[in-house]
């Protein structure tokens, strides 16, 4: 039951301020408020089906709940969606949080396998990073836009803050990069 309480504490921390945990859980599980509070307090154990629904709704890995005190390492893959700059901001914010968590670890090592130079390698150089974003965004979305116009639409202070966090965390870690060749069929 301790794991269940920790699960709800984690979910509650990640909820936006206008959301109430009990209301969200009640909606997802389709149960009464009283039933929800018994689950939150750990008086009633969640079924596997309920846990699965909650994990999907709150975007929490079920493995992270079940192996809460395990020595296993969990991985999360989020594809880079360049269809909008908001998606890019979210992706980079998530990468920044991940890098900061790695930097806090006692032993930290990062391995990259990529077809291109990993983003943390060029985040110390704002102009290079912005140009890289421009070329990615332009080629993926097939846009015909000038670099100057593209840059004028960016939230540069936000990006600078994100890149600084990534760079600071990355510089505190050991890393290895394996660049692979593109395989063509």
* Residue 69 pLDDT exceeds 70: no
- The C-alpha atoms of residue 135 and residue 103 are separated, in whole angstroms, by 29
Tokens coding 4: 């269940």
Q: Residue 139 — pLDDT band, cuts 50, 70, 90?
A: confident
50 and 125 part of one domain: no
Choice among 16-30, 66-80, 153-167, 169-183 with the minimum mean pLDDT: 66-80
- The C-alpha atoms of residue 148 and residue 151 are separated, in whole angstroms, by 5
154 in a structural domain: yes
Q: Residue 68 — pLDDT band, cuts 50, 70, 90?
A: low
Q: Which of 34, 66, 98 is the last residue of a domain?
A: 66
Average predicted confidence (pLDDT) for the chain: 83
Q: Which of 66, 95, 113 is the last residue of a domain?
A: 66
11 in a structural domain: yes
74 in a structural domain: no
Q: What is the CATH number of the domain that holds 62?
A: 1.10.260.40
Which pTM was predicted?
0.57
pLDDT at 37: 93
94 and 152 part of one domain: yes
71 in a structural domain: no
21 and 55 part of one domain: yes
* Residue 70 pLDDT exceeds 60: no
For residue 13, give its domain range. Answer: 2-66
Q: Which of 66, 95, 111 is the last residue of a domain?
A: 66
- The mean pLDDT value for 129-157 works out to 89
Span 1-21, pLDDT tens digits: 588 888 898 888 878 888 899
14 and 53 part of one domain: yes
31 and 93 part of one domain: no
Domain count for the chain, please give it: 2
128 and 158 part of one domain: yes
Highest mean pLDDT among 76-85, 130-139, 155-164: 155-164
pLDDT at 35: 93
The answer to whether the beta carbons of residues 114 and 177 sit under 8 Å apart is: yes
148 in a structural domain: yes
DSSP3 helix / strand / coil % (the chain, rounded to 5): 60, 5, 35
77 in a structural domain: no
Span 83-128, pLDDT tens digits: 788 888 888 888 888 888 888 877 777 777 777 778 788 889 999 9
56 and 105 part of one domain: no
90 and 175 part of one domain: yes
Q: Phi first, then psi: what are they for 31, rounded to 5°?
A: -130, 165
Percentage of residues of the chain with pLDDT beyond 70: 86
111 in a structural domain: yes
């Amino acid at each position: 039951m301790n794991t269940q309480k920790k699960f709800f504490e984690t979910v509650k921390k990640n909820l936006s301020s206008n959301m109430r945990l009990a209301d969200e859980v009640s909606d997802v599980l389709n149960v009464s408020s009283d039933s929800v509070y018994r689950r939150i307090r750990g008086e009633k154990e969640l079924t596997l089906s309920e846990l699965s629904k909650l994990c999907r709704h709150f975007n929490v890995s079920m493995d992270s709940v079940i192996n809460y005190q395990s020595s296993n390492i969990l991985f999360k893959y989020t594809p880079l969606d360049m269809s909008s700059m908001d998606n890019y901001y979210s992706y980079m914010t998530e990468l920044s949080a991940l890098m900061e968590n790695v930097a806090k670890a006692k032993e930290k090592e990062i391995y990259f396998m990529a077809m291109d130079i990993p983003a943390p390698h060029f985040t110390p150089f704002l102009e290079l990073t912005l140009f890289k974003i421009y070329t990615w965004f332009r080629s993926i979305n097939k846009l015909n836009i000038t670099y100057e116009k593209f840059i004028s639409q960016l939230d540069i202070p936000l990006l600078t803050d994100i890149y600084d966090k990534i760079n600071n965390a990355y510089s505190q870690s050991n890393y290895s990069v394996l660049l692979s060749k593109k395989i063509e069929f």
